[in-house]
């Protein structure tokens, strides 16, 4: 019986408007009422992941930044994994050489040199998911993040490592040249200390090798005394693969990449059709 469920956010739990449907909310609540732990596993930082969850009233653990940070239901940090100076400089040198835009995710916030490029990343994710995003709504969301200080606009990233207590958790790179992205991914993947995944064809999510959704899911299962055969993971893109590979039941969204669908236990509906809810009801025996 499934006792632990992990769901991705973008392209999975969230629709194109970056909202959680009422059907998904009710399904998670139903799972929790059955004693099942539901955790969100995302490439987002906690301060942006919690934004669309807060209005739902759901209380769940978070696997953030692809596993670089794990928080319990009370939002307390229980695990972190960061990139040291040598690893960050290795990443930076490759991206600068290839003229690829990137953001830096830290435990204090997200740094960008150009908010318009942030918008492009969101639009890129929607494009490769076959969805039509609300551009103005996304732009308002970006401006809100700037206003509250979770998205920090800087001229350059030179001083980030000098801030006391600030840790670089993830680097998110983006470019419309997919051949360039593939070339950089191959080069950075040669490092045994880096995990390189993506949430869209046009981006790269680079973390420490210990920061992977699958590893974080295993750690949560172990802490709860749950066998991995009693876990279910739901996702749509490559940064979800590590947890789908390890979960007892691997669920791919209808809008997921073909390679995830091919290796999934089953394929659920798309994120526009509350596919997460349908997967939860299916494994818990409800015909909703």
Q: Any idea which residues carry the catalytic annotation?
A: 8
Compute the chain's Rg from CA coordinates: 18
How buried is 176 (Cβ within 10 angstroms: 0-12 exposed, 13-18 middle, 19+ buried)? exposed
């Amino acid at each position: 019986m499934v006792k632990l469920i992990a769901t991705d956010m973008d392209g999975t739990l969230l629709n194109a408007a970056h909202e959680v449907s009422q059907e998904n909310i009710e399904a998670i609540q139903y799972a929790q009422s059955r004693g099942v732990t539901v955790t969100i596993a995302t490439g987002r930082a906690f301060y942006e992941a919690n934004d669309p969850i807060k209005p739902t009233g759901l209380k769940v653990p978070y696997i953030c930044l692809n596993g670089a940070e794990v928080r319990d239901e009370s939002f307390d940090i229980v695990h972190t994994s960061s990139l040291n100076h040598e690893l960050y400089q290795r990443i930076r040198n490759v991206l600068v050489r290839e003229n690829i835009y990137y953001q830096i995710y830290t435990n204090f916030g997200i740094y960008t040199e150009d908010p318009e490029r942030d918008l492009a990343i969101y639009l890129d994710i929607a494009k490769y998911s076959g969805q039509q995003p609300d551009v103005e709504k996304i732009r308002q969301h970006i401006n809100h993040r700037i206003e509250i200080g979770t998205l920090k606009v800087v001229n350059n990233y030179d001083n980030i490592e000098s801030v006391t207590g600030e840790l670089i958790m993830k680097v998110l790179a983006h470019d419309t040249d997919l051949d360039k992205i593939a070339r950089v991914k191959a080069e950075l993947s040669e490092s045994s200390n880096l995990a390189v995944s993506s949430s869209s064809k046009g981006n790269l999510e680079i973390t420490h090798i210990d920061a992977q959704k699958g590893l974080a899911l295993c750690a949560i299962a172990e802490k709860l005394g749950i066998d991995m055969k009693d876990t279910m993971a739901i996702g749509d893109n490559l940064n979800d693969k590590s947890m789908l590979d390890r979960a007892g039941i691997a669920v791919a969204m209808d809008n997921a990449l073909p390679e995830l669908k091919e290796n999934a236990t089953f394929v659920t509906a798309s994120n526009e059709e509350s596919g997460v809810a349908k997967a939860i009801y299916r494994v818990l025996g409800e015909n909703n």
